[in-house]
Structure formats: C-alpha cells, structure tokens
C-alpha cells in the first residue's frame, strides 16, 4: 500500500512528467512533419494540455499502477527522456546520469512494494543498473565520437566544465573520451545501485 506522502510525490511527478513528455512529443512531431513555424508552439502547448488532461483523467489509475509498469512502457520512456536530457544539457551526460538515479530509486520502491526478497531484489536491480549504464555509456560514447570529430563540440563541452585547454588536439580529445566513457559507466552503475537500495529500504548483504 502506497502511503499518502509517497502518493503526493508520485502525483507531483506525474503532473510534471506527462505534460512535459506530451509537450516535447508534439514539438518534435510538428518539426518532423514540417509544420509552419508559427503553428509549432501551438502544437506544443496543445500537447501540454493533452498531457495534463491524461494525468487528471486517470490519476487514480496511474497512482495504483505506478509501480506495476512493465518494460514495454518504462524502457521506451527512459530512452525518450534520455534523449530529452541530452538535448537539455547540450550534449553533456549530466541529465542522463540523473535520470539513472531516478530509475534506481523507482526500482527500489517497486521492489519494496512488490515485497521482493533481498535475493530477488539483487537480481532485479542488477538488470536495472546494467541497463542504465549501457544507456549512459552509449550516449557518452556517441557524444564523445562527435566531439573528437568536431573541435567546436568538444571545446564547447570542455568549456562548460572549465577544461577547454585539454581539447586542443584530436589525440587529446580521443584520450579524454577513452577515459571519460568507462568512468561514466562505472559512476552510473554505482549511483543507480545506491539509489535502488535506498529506495528498497533494506541493507545490502
């Protein structure tokens, strides 16, 4: 049984996630369909309205089934939100890593409400950690390859973190990518695991 405080938190999340998701879908969809420029914001805000309506009309259902969502729904949503996070942070994996934290916490609460044993949860969270790490690794590698090929992209990324001098040469940029990608994968795995066990509420054996 989901408590009142947790229900309120989930409701707030839904009222942010659904409208924002529909907003971006409508925005990107209108761009792909070559919609007239003036109509694009109208389409986007129409999507926002649809998202709000979806949450309001099915709030009780979403609350009761929040932790029973299957991979058919959660995996595409995670990948879609990862794309949004990557765009929002201008190619930096900060948003994707943060999304992995949320996924870990969600997995922990899901395991808790499903009454999983510690052993069963270990197997479940392992899959979640591997998945989030793969997504982060793929995104980081893709952006790294792009940055190595495009000096401006790498310089822009390094400038944001105050390390612009390290990307002066192609070999230097390649070395940074080779080092950064495995580190990000490891960090994502560890953070997702920590958040999952915290959400689960039981100590890891």
pLDDT tens-digit map of 14-69? 999 999 999 998 988 888 887 788 888 888 899 999 999 999 998 888 888 899 98
Record the pTM: 0.85
151 and 81 within one domain? yes
**Residue from 23, 19, 17 nearest 69 by CA:** 17
What is the domain range of residue 18?
1-68
80 and 63 within one domain? no
86 and 126 within one domain? yes
pLDDT bin (cut points 50, 70, 90) of residue 204 is low
* Domain count of the fold of the chain: 2
111 and 96 within one domain? yes
Q: Check: CB of residue 124 under 8 Å from CB of residue 111.
A: yes
162 and 98 within one domain? yes
100 and 78 within one domain? yes
The tokens for 126 are 């392992």
126 and 196 within one domain? yes
- Stretch 141-166: mean pLDDT: 67
56 and 110 within one domain? no
Report the alpha-carbon distance of residue 165 to residue 181 in Å, rounded. 19
Residue 169: its pLDDT value, please?
61
Residue 198: its pLDDT value, please?
95
Helices (H), the chain: 4-32, 39-57, 59-65, 71-88, 94-113, 118-149, 151-160, 170-200
Q: Check: CB of residue 79 under 8 Å from CB of residue 134.
A: no
194 and 100 within one domain? yes
111 and 201 within one domain? yes
Whether the per-residue pLDDT at 157 is higher than 70: the answer is: no
Report the alpha-carbon distance of residue 137 to residue 181 in Å, rounded. 6
* pLDDT tens per residue across span 107-151: 999 999 999 999 999 999 999 999 999 999 999 898 878 777 766
**Residues whose CB falls within 8 Å of the CB of residue 67, separated by 6 or more in sequence, listed in order:** 2, 106, 109, 110, 113, 114
89 and 62 within one domain? no
Report the alpha-carbon distance of residue 10 to residue 31 in Å, rounded. 31
Whether the per-residue pLDDT at 2 is higher than 90: the answer is: no
């Amino acid at each position: 049984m989901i408590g009142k405080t947790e229900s309120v938190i989930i409701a707030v999340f839904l009222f942010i996630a659904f409208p924002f998701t529909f907003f971006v879908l409508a925005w990107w969809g209108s761009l792909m369909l070559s919609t007239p420029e003036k109509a694009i914001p109208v389409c986007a805000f129409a999507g926002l309205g649809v998202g709000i309506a979806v949450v309001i009309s099915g709030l009780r259902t979403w609350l009761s089934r929040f932790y029973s969502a299957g991979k058919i729904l959660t995996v595409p949503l995670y990948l879609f939100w990862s794309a949004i996070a990557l765009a929002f942070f201008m190619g930096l994996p900060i948003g994707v890593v943060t999304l992995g934290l949320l996924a870990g916490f969600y997995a922990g609460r899901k395991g808790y409400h499903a009454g999983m044993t510690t052993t069963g949860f270990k197997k479940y969270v392992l899959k979640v950690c591997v998945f989030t790490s793969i997504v982060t690794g793929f995104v980081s590698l893709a952006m790294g390859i792009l940055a190595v090929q495009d000096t401006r992209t790498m310089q822009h990324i390094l400038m944001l973190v105050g390390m612009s001098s390290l990307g002066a040469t192609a070999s230097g940029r390649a070395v940074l990518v080779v080092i950064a990608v495995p580190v990000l994968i490891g960090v994502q795995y560890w953070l997702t695991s920590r958040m999952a066990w915290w959400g689960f509420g039981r100590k890891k054996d």
